[in-house]
Amino acid sequence: MTNPPPAPEPAAAAEVLTQSPESASPDAQLPGPRQPRPAQRITLRADLRASWPDGLVALLVTAAVFVLLYVRIRNKTSSTVSVMPFMADAGGFWMYFLSQAFGWSALLWAWGTVVLGLLLSGPRPGRLPLSGPRLERLHRTTSLNTIALITAHALLFGAELVRHDTAAWNSALATAFVETFVPGGYDSGTGQIAIPVGQAALYLAIPLGLLFYARHRIGPKTWRVLHRFVIVVYVLSVWHTLLYGTNVWYDGWFRTSVWLLQLPVAALLLVRLLRPARRSERLPVLPGATVSRTGWALRLGGRLAVVGVMVALVVVVAGGSDGGRTAPPDDTSSTHDHD
């Protein structure tokens, strides 16, 4: 009886390749160790086909969030009515609330994508409901759906601007495009900062998410370096939400929950830095031949920075001082108030 082949060492999610079945041949009947299966390159088309169940769930969650936002606006229990009283007309601004719903789903899917990525690139828990390959595919499909949700969020925001603009359609379309997609084009209130932050998240998410499928051209090492900036996309998304999400402008459990969700991300990031799946990324006790003093100091600084972030998150959640406003602004008018 032949011994089974040794289990492969765990690898980062970026480098895992699927296996294709061996073709039948007479040699396959001979005794001896099993030949390794040829690796099959993961393609964007295959992942797009596999992403529809996750995408369907995302749409259902978006629909549920939209209904919740719509009902709260109609009942005047949403902070949005305090921030922008002219939006109390729920039926008149339904497209804006749909854009908000897609934004919340995008943030939730971005959170899940980051959590999955950190689980795959660090020490894996002993018990997971999905196998490694399935977890890796789920990580890729949630990433693709996050890009789709962010794009839908932005497009609906722009469509709302066009719908309420009284200028000619071509002028309204040009204005909405600039305000939605051009940094600095939106010049109203908090949006002067929040909109460019959201645009940065969108413009980073698309190439970083799709570069995975071109890593054989740019090289795995280059791709790994670029892929680490995905955490920047997530931070920008959270920042955009806390700045511009009218539902979380004021202090309260909803805003605190957004902060609370960042604790597991920070904890998993710290574990991933302390015990990365790749041995070459582990921090030695002292700098040596493999790690220069500068590199060692940077790695140590990154780990200490994450510890600092975790402490800050605990203080924010426990203390309730999460940067929310305590009263409606004195001026609730808006240059985008189209009566």
- Is 264's pLDDT higher than 70? yes
Distance CA 271, CA 121 (A): 10
Distance CA 205, CA 233 (A): 6
| Residue-wise burial string across 219-250, b where 16 or more C-beta atoms lie within 10 A, e elsewhere | eeeebbebbeebeebbbbbbbbbbbbbbbbbb
More confident site: 8 or 295? 295
More confident site: 123 or 315? 315
Q: What percent of the chain has pLDDT over 90?
A: 37
Residue 23's pLDDT band (cuts 50, 70, 90)? very low
pLDDT tens across 103-154, in order? 999 999 999 999 998 888 777 666 777 777 888 899 999 999 999 999 999 9
Structure tokens at 16: 């895992």
Query: Which one-letter amino acid corresponds to residue 243?
Result: L
- Is 288's pLDDT higher than 90? no
pLDDT tens across 248-260, in order? 877 677 888 888 8
Residue 109's contacts (CB-CB under 8 Å, 6 or more residues apart) are: 58, 142, 145, 146, 149
Question: Please, where are the H alpha helices in 18-87?
Answer: 44-50, 52-74, 79-83
Q: What is the pLDDT of residue 21?
A: 37
Stretch 5-21: mean pLDDT: 40
| Backbone dihedral angles phi then psi of residue 286, each to the nearest 5 degrees | -135, 150
Structure tokens at 282: 């582990």
SS3 content of the chain, % helix, strand, coil (to 5): 65, 0, 30
- Is 307's pLDDT higher than 70? yes
CA 117 to chain centre: 10
Structure tokens at 123: 């020490």
Q: What are the C-alpha distances in Å from 278 to residues 14, 110, 283?
A: 12, 24, 11
| Backbone dihedral angles phi then psi of residue 215, each to the nearest 5 degrees | -65, -25
Q: Residues in the chain, how many?
A: 339
User: How many Cβ atoms are within 10 Å of 10's Cβ, its own excluded?
Assistant: 14
- Is 294's pLDDT higher than 90? no
Structure tokens at 176: 């909405």
Q: What is the pLDDT of residue 61?
A: 97
Q: What is the average pLDDT value for the chain, to the nearest integer?
A: 80
Residue 276's pLDDT band (cuts 50, 70, 90)? confident
Query: In DSSP terms, which residues pair with 18 in a beta bridge?
Result: 40
Which of 11-20, 133-142, 160-169, 308-317 is predicted least confidently? 11-20
- Is 22's pLDDT higher than 50? no
Q: What is the pLDDT of residue 205?
A: 93
Structure tokens at 205: 């998410």
CA angle 166, 193, 171 (to 5 degrees): 20
pLDDT tens across 198-211, in order? 999 999 999 999 99
| Residue-wise burial string across 131-158, b where 16 or more C-beta atoms lie within 10 A, e elsewhere | ebeebbbbbbbbbbbbbbbbebbbebbb
More confident site: 40 or 109? 109
- Is 66's pLDDT higher than 90? yes
Stretch 155-179: mean pLDDT: 92
Distance CA 95, CA 98 (A): 5
Residue with tokens 């789920």: 138
More confident site: 165 or 39? 165
